[in-house]
C-alpha cells in the first residue's frame, strides 16, 4: 500500500521517537516541580523551545507549545483579536475564505460572541490572495490579519512577505498558518507576527504543536490555570512532545531544500502524466506557486469518493481534500471560493507526497487513469 495523504498526517520519525523516549520514562517529571526529575524535564523543555526558535528565527520566549495546529490557530486568532479588543477597542479581522476550519471557526466565534466584523479577502481561480486587496481591507480598528502560508487542499502558496509588508505599514499583527508549509518552505524571516505549526505533519506525534508569537503582540490566553508557557497557555507541558516536535522540525529544516527540489520534480512528472492520460482531469491550485509535495485534481463526470475507493483497490491511499472537517460530505469550501462548480468540486482528489520520495510516480498516475475510467464506466 502506497500512502499519499501526508497533508493529513505523517508517521513518527524514528529519530523523533528516540529523542522523546527519555522524557516518557526516566525523566518523566513535571517541569514545574522543584526537584531533580522536574528540573531535568524543565531543562529539556527549555532546550526544545530554543531549538524551535532558532529554526523560526524568533526568540525562545516567543514559542508557546500547544496540542496541535488547531489549538495554535485558535490561540492566535482569538487570543490576538480579543487582546486588541480589550486594549484598544478593535473589533475587525481580515482573513480569506480558503483558510483551515480552525481559523474560519475562530473568526466566526469572534463575530458571534464578541461582535467582530469580518472581511473575507477573495482569492483568484488558483487560490492566490492579492496583497493589494488586503491593503484596501485594513482599518484603524483591524485587530488581526490571518492568512495561510500554503493551502492544505490545493497546495497554493501565498506571498506572505508581500502581505506582511502591507500589515507592517499599518501596525496590524499578521498571523500565518504554516502547518502545511513546515518542512517544505522557509519559515524564518517571512514577516509573520504569529505562526502556527503542527507536529504530526512533520514526523512528530499527533497532539503536538506550537504558536510562535512575538513578545510585543498582546495575547489573551484561551486556557487558564497554573500560568505555564509564560501565562499564555496553562496546563502541565508535554515535555516529550515538545522534544519530539523540536527534533522533527530541525530534521525537516535540514533536509528542506534538497527534499523540496527532488519531490517537486517527481510531482511535476506525475501531474503531467495524469493530465495526459485523463481527459477530464484538471489541476487545482496554482500551477507554479504550490507546495512541492501537493498535486490535486478534479475529475468532472465522476465521484471523488468512488475514485478514491478504486485507487485504494489498486494500492494507493489518497484523499478528497482536508481530513480535518470531521464527517463532512459537502463540496470543498476552498474549491468553491476558487470558483469551481459544486458538482465538480465533489470530484476532487488530493495526492500529498512524503519527504524523502525519490522514485517516479508513473505507476500511481496509471492507477489514477484506470480508477477514473472504472468509475466513469460504472456511472
pLDDT single digits (tens) 366-375? 999 999 999 9
Measured distance CA(232)–CA(222) in Å, rounded:
8
Specify the pLDDT at position 323. Answer: 55
Is residue 66's pLDDT more than 60? Answer: yes
* Per-residue pLDDT tens over the stretch 248-298: 999 999 999 999 999 999 999 999 999 999 999 999 999 999 999 999 999
Q: Where are the domains of the chain?
A: 14-252, 256-377
Write the class of the CATH domain 14-252: alpha beta
Residues β-bridged to residue 63? 212
CATH domain 256-377 topology = 3.90.1150
- What is the distance between the alpha carbons of residues 13 and 8, in angstroms, rounded to a whole number? 16
Tell me which of 17, 37, 324, 373 is the catalytic residue. 324
Backbone phi and psi for residue 361, each to the nearest 5 degrees, phi listed first: -110, 30
pLDDT recorded at residue 321: 72
Rounded mean pLDDT, 170-185? 98
With beta carbons less than 8 A apart as the criterion, state whether 146 and 216 touch. Answer: no
Give yes or no for a contact between 338 and 282, defined as CB atoms under 8 angstroms apart.
no
Q: Note the pLDDT tens digit of each residue in 149-167.
A: 999 999 999 999 999 999 9
Give the pLDDT confidence score for residue 326 in this predicted structure: 44
| Cα 111 to Cα 162: distance, rounded to the nearest angstrom | 27
The cell for 175 is: 498571523
The candidate with the shortest Cα–Cα distance to 78, out of 58, 100, 102, is 102
CA 107 – CA 110 distance, rounded (Å) = 5
Residue 222 known to be catalytic: no
What pLDDT is attached to residue 157? 98
Strand bridging mode 294-299 / 348-352: antiparallel
User: What is the pTM assigned to this prediction?
Assistant: 0.96
pLDDT averaged over every residue in the chain:
96
- Coil, helix or strand at residue 217: coil
pLDDT exceeds cutoff 50 at 205: yes
Give the Cβ contact number of residue 276 at 10 Å.
11
Beta carbons of 103 and 73 less than 8 angstroms apart:
yes
Amino acid at each position: 500500500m502506497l500512502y499519499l495523504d501526508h497533508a493529513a498526517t505523517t508517521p513518527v520519525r524514528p529519530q523523533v521517537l528516540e529523542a522523546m523516549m527519555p522524557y516518557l520514562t526516566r525523566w518523566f517529571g513535571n517541569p514545574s516541580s522543584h526537584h531533580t526529575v522536574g528540573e531535568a524535564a524543565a531543562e529539556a523543555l527549555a532546550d526544545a523551545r530554543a531549538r524551535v526558535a532558532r529554526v523560526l528565527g524568533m526568540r525562545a520566549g516567543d514559542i508557546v507549545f500547544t496540542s496541535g495546529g488547531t489549538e495554535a490557530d485558535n490561540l492566535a486568532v482569538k487570543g490576538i483579536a480579543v487582546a486588541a479588543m480589550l486594549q484598544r477597542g478593535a473589533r475587525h479581522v481580515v482573513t480569506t475564505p480558503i483558510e483551515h476550519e480552525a481559523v474560519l471557526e475562530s473568526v466566526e466565534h469572534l463575530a458571534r460572541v464578541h461582535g467582530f466584523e469580518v472581511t473575507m479577502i477573495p482569492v483568484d481561480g488558483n487560490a492566490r490572495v492579492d496583497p493589494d486587496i488586503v491593503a484596501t481591507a485594513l482599518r484603524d480598528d483591524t485587530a488581526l490579519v490571518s492568512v495561510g502560508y500554503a493551502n492544505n487542499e490545493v497546495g497554493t502558496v501565498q506571498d506572505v512577505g508581500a502581505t506582511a509588508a502591507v500589515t507592517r505599514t499599518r501596525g496590524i499583527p499578521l498571523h500565518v498558518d504554516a502547518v502545511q508549509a513546515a518542512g517544505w518552505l522557509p519559515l524564518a524571516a517571512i514577516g509573520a507576527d504569529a505562526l502556527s505549526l503542527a507536529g504530526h505533519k512533520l514526523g512528530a506525534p499527533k497532539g503536538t504543536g506550537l504558536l510562535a508569537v512575538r513578545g510585543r503582540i498582546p495575547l489573551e490566553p484561551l486556557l487558564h490555570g497554573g500560568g505555564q508557557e509564560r501565562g499564555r497557555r496553562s496546563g502541565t507541558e508535554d515535555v516529550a512532545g515538545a522534544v519530539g516536535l523540536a527534533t522533527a522540525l530541525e530534521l525537516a529544516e535540514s533536509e528542506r531544500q534538497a527534499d523540496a527540489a527532488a519531490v517537486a520534480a517527481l510531482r511535476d512528472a506525475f501531474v503531467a502524466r495524469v493530465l495526459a492520460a485523463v481527459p477530464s482531469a484538471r489541476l487545482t491550485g496554482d500551477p507554479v506557486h504550490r507546495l512541492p509535495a501537493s498535486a490535486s485534481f478534479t475529475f468532472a463526470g465522476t465521484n471523488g469518493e468512488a475514485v478514491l475507493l478504486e485507487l485504494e483497490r489498486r494500492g494507493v491511499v489518497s484523499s478528497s481534500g482536508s481530513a480535518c472537517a470531521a464527517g463532512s460530505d459537502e463540496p470543498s469550501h476552498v474549491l468553491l471560493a476558487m470558483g469551481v462548480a459544486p458538482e465538480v468540486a465533489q470530484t476532487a482528489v488530493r495526492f500529498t507526497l512524503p519527504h524523502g520520495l525519490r522514485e517516479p510516480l508513473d505507476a500511481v498516475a496509471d492507477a489514477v487513469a484506470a480508477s477514473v475510467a472504472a468509475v466513469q464506466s460504472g456511472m
